Chain A
Amino acid sequence: MTEYNFAYLDEATKRMIRRALLKAVAIPGYQVPFSSREMPMPYGWGTGGVQVTAACLVPEDSLKVIDQGADDTTNAVSIRSFFEKVAGVATTESTADASVIQTRHRIPEAPLVAGQILVFQVPIPEPLRFLEPRETETRTMHALEDYGLMQVRLYEDIARHGEIARAYAYPVKVEGRYVMDPSPIPKFDNPKLNMSPALQLFGAGRECRIYALPPFTRVESLDFEDYPFTPSKAAGHDCAICGAQDSYLDEVITDDSGGRMFVCSDTDYCATRAAQMEANA
C-alpha cells in the first residue's frame, strides 16, 4: 500500500468532499454542490459513490459493494477490488459484516444497523430535472419549497394510468422539507429510507452533488390521501432459490422459449437464506 495515497484521492480533495458531506448531513435531503473529480472509471459506474466512499473510509472498515443487489456483478466486483487496492480495506459480501456499503440502485434486504454507512451511487440527483431542465429554476423551486409541479406530475400519472406510474427513483420528502431523489432504487426499498438507524449518503459524480439522510430521519414517499404510496414488487412469485416472499425479485430469462424464474435481487440475502435452509434440512 505504498503506491497510492490512502483511498486514492488526494487530501485536499478529501477535505472538500468531507466538508460537503457534513453540510449534507446538516441539511437532510438538500443537494450540496461539490467539485467532483475524474475517477479511473467512466461516469455512470459510480464515480460519485466512489468519491464519497473514499472520503469516508478508514483502514479498519469492511466494505461491501452491490450493484442492483448483487455482490458479484462487474460494477460491484471492480469497485470492491479498487478499494482493496487503493485503501487496503477488507471487503465482504455480508450485509451484517459490512461497516460501509456502497450501492447501485438497491438497499439490502437485511435491516441495516446503527454505525453502518450506506453510500448510494446517483445518476441524476435532481428529482425535478425531468419536469424543469433549468438548474437555476429547480434551485429556486427547492429554495421556495415549491413542489407543486411534482404533485401535478404524480396526479397526471393517476389521470392517465390510474396509479402513480413510477417503479423506481420514486420521489420522497425529507423531514417535511426537501423533495429528494432516492436514486433509482425500486420503490419497494423506499420505506427502508425512513428512520433508518444507518447513515445514508448519496454521491452524484457527473452532476457534482452530494446529499445525505442522517440516521432516524423522516422520509415520506410522495402520494395522495386517496392514492397512498404502495411499495411494490413482482406479484405472485416467491424466490425460486430461497423461497423468500418478502424480498425484491429479479426476473431472469432462462432459455429461448419463454422460460423464466424470479430470484432475490439481493444475492447475500438469498445465499444466507439458502445456506440456512440447507443447514436445517
Chain B
Amino acid sequence: MDGLTPGFASPAVDAAHAFRAVLDTMAHPGRLVTLDGPAAPVPCSQAACVALLTLADATTPLHLAGAHDCKGMRDWVAFHLGAPLVGRSEAVFALGTWHALGPLAAYPQGVPDYPDRSATLIVEMADLQANGTRLTGPGIEDAAYLSLPDTDALRANASRFPLGLDFLFTHGAQLAALPRTTKLGDG
C-alpha cells in the first residue's frame, strides 16, 4: 500500500460536484467537462479516478484492463472503493484504454427486461477533443462532435438500443460521455 494517493478531501460535497459533472456529460453526449479532484494512481487519469470515486463501491464489480491492472491500481481500488475486481463478463464498470478494454461484446449488454444491467466503460484516451465524429440524438440539440476511437464498434453498440454499453471517455481531468442512444456520423 506504499504511495497510496488520498481520496476526496470532502467526500460528500466533492462527490456531489463530480456527479453533477458526470450527469451533465451523460445528458449532453460529446460535451467536455473538467473533473477536479485528488491525484490519481498511475496510470489512471484524474477524470477516471474521480468518476470511480463518485460511482463505484463494493457493490459494483470492476474490470481493470491492460496496463490499468497493476498493483498500484489494485491497491487503490481495494482501499478507496472496495470494488471486487472481475473479468469483463461480470463488470459493472471497466477501466482501461480502448485497445485494452475490447472486445465490447464480452461485457454485460443488459437484457431486454432490464437494459440498465449493462456495463459502463471508462475509456482512457490519449487525446480528447470536441471534434471528429458527428453525434446526434437525445441530449444534443443540433449536433455535437467528439474524437472517438472506433466509430464502427460504437455504431454497432448504438444499433443494439435499448441494450448496449455506455461510455465515459477520459483524458487528464477531462471527461466526455457517450450513452447508447447517441447516433454516430451522418447515417
B147: min CB distance to chain A, Å: 21
Residues on A with beta carbons closer than 8 Å to the beta carbon of B59:
12, 16
Contact of B57 among A12, A25, A27, A57 (CB under 8 A): A12
Per the 8 Å Cβ criterion, residues 111-137 of B in contact with A are 112-116, 118, 120, 137
Whether a CB of chain A sits under 8 angstroms from the CB of B68 is no
Residue of A nearest to B57 (CB): A15
Cross-chain contact B16 with A59 (CB below 8 angstroms): yes
Per the 8 Å Cβ criterion, residues 172-205 of A in contact with B are 175, 177-178, 197, 199
Contact of A216 among B16, B23, B120, B138 (CB under 8 A): B138
Contact of B139 among A23, A178, A216 (CB under 8 A): A216
Per the 8 Å Cβ criterion, residues 1-55 of A in contact with B are 5-7, 11-12, 14-16, 18-28, 30, 32-33, 55
Whether a CB of chain A sits under 8 angstroms from the CB of B99 is no
Cross-chain contact B19 with A175 (CB below 8 angstroms): no
Contact of A19 among B17, B55, B181 (CB under 8 A): B55
> What's the Cα separation between A15 and B118 when bound, in Å?
17
> What's the Cα separation between A4 and B57 when bound, in Å?
22
Whether a CB of chain B sits under 8 angstroms from the CB of A75 is no
Cross-chain contact A217 with B138 (CB below 8 angstroms): yes
Knowing A26-B26, A28-B181, the reply to whether A140 touches B113 (Cβ < 8 A) is: yes
> What's the Cα separation between A6 and B26 when bound, in Å?
23
Cross-chain contact B116 with A27 (CB below 8 angstroms): yes
B19: min CB distance to chain A, Å: 5
Whether a CB of chain B sits under 8 angstroms from the CB of A279 is no
A56: min CB distance to chain B, Å: 7
Cross-chain contact A55 with B162 (CB below 8 angstroms): no
A241: min CB distance to chain B, Å: 35
Contact of B116 among A32, A58, A177 (CB under 8 A): A32
What 6 A-B pairs have minimum CB-CB distances, sorted nearest first? A26-B179, A143-B112, A6-B12, A214-B139, A23-B116, A217-B138
Chain B residues at the A interface, C-beta cutoff of 8 Å: 11-13, 15-17, 19-20, 22-23, 26-28, 54-57, 59-60, 92, 112-116, 118, 120, 137-141, 161-162, 166, 179-181
Chain A residues at the B interface, C-beta cutoff of 8 Å: 5-7, 11-12, 14-16, 18-28, 30, 32-33, 55-59, 139-140, 142-144, 175, 177-178, 197, 199, 213-218
